[in-house]
Structure 1
Amino acid sequence: MLFGLFKSLDEKVKEDKEHLITRLKSSELKTLIVEMGNSKPISNNIIKRQKRDQSLESEDFPSWYAYRISDELSDVNLKSELIELLKDKDFFQYKKYVLRCLSSLCVNCKDYELFDFLISELEKTDEEEVITAVLSRLNELRKPASLNIDYLKHLLLKGTYQNRIDSLNALKNSEDKELEEILILKFKTSDQHTKCMICATLRSTGTIQSIETLKAELKRTRSNDLKYFIQSAIEEINERENK
């Protein structure tokens, strides 16, 4: 007990975060989802440290840890519980977080039926935050050529700027036969960030067909960031094609 009196503020903050992680990992699914939307500092000790340092970090909020834990969800039995929560009118304000949990489950369980379900849910909304919450997790999922990714391609071609960025991320690891041609077409954009994102997607989806376009842009651009992304894409494509 006496030892606790002499702990520094930073030590107390660390302890508060550890307690939160333990609590979240052992909590019910509903509690985890609610905490995904909790934007209040974790503890009074963090508020004291904020006053001292005049700053707050992402890790100072319960939502940051709840998101990280939700990313690890892999119990297939949670699927039906989460889908039921989507139907719960009293839980509607947390829909974005429920869908995020489902997207993590989809990736971790390689559940393509759940992928189709998530896409059908996104087709009902134009809320960018909801779309981002789901698509930001789907980049890790391998998407075989048989998987219907028309919605993602539609967002890339006709969605808002944020939609396009999100779809590029979600289209990683796709084997769709039309995708590479679409990416090369979209590479004509003048927006540097979009070009970088296209390169990041081509790393896992591109073939020799993309190399000429990438090399031409590499000669043209003065952006060191874009040069890095182009070179990285070329290297990944060559390595994959030459196996």
Structure 2
Amino acid sequence: MVFSLQNVQTLLAVVVQCCSSSGLNGSRLPSDPDEPLPINAEAAKVVAVTMVENVCPDVANGELSWPPEEHARTTVERDIHIRRCFEAHPVLFPLLQVVAAGRPALCYCSAVLRGLLATLLAHWEASREVLSTDSPWHLQASCLLVSCMGEGQLLPPVLANVHETFPHLTPFEVRLLLVAVWEYVRGNGPMPQKFIFNSEKGLFCRDFSRDGDVARYVAPIHSVLHKNIDRLGHLCWRFQL
């Protein structure tokens, strides 16, 4: 098991080095040596497309937009296959994190993100557990998925932070917040054209103000926070608009 973990870490180190944009196209090295290397967007896109081709070969590269949540019922088998791949290959989440750092490359993983989220929604809906912590893999997967989507700027910060509340919630509440995530991405598709290169930061960024009012997607978050104020009060500042 230790050897396997070492292999995973070695693979990731090689991928990060290959995708690093340090010194390329005039990009700057990090001022802090402990700061992660900047990821080149085009290199990250190659990793993203390769992931999709291997995790779910029948997905078309153009499947970027998200349908209504109910549509997931028509892709159940494909979605389950995607989830099983993530369960069987723990390296996939760290690779997603590398892709997310190379904005806007995560857009090209849209179909995989959608399939994984669909199975997580189904799990939390069917769960009869008292707390989300009673389903450790699904809890971790939910947190990592939202975190990656936040890093890749498929979500605005106020929604990207919701995973911080998941360990304190019931399965029903986790699902409620994940539905808000789904609805936001459906209404504000993960399109590469929405990203603009910031020469000062040396990376692509998204202007979420162009996507309109985010308040309606945040309403469920505030409802859950209010209900669990005794446990989540310290996180309220993370969800201010």
Question: TM class by shorter-chain length?
Answer: 0.3 to 0.5
TM-score of the aligned structures, taking structure 1 as reference length: 0.39
Q: Which has the higher helix share?
A: 1
Structure possessing the higher radius of gyration over alpha carbons: 1
TM-score of the aligned structures, taking structure 2 as reference length: 0.40
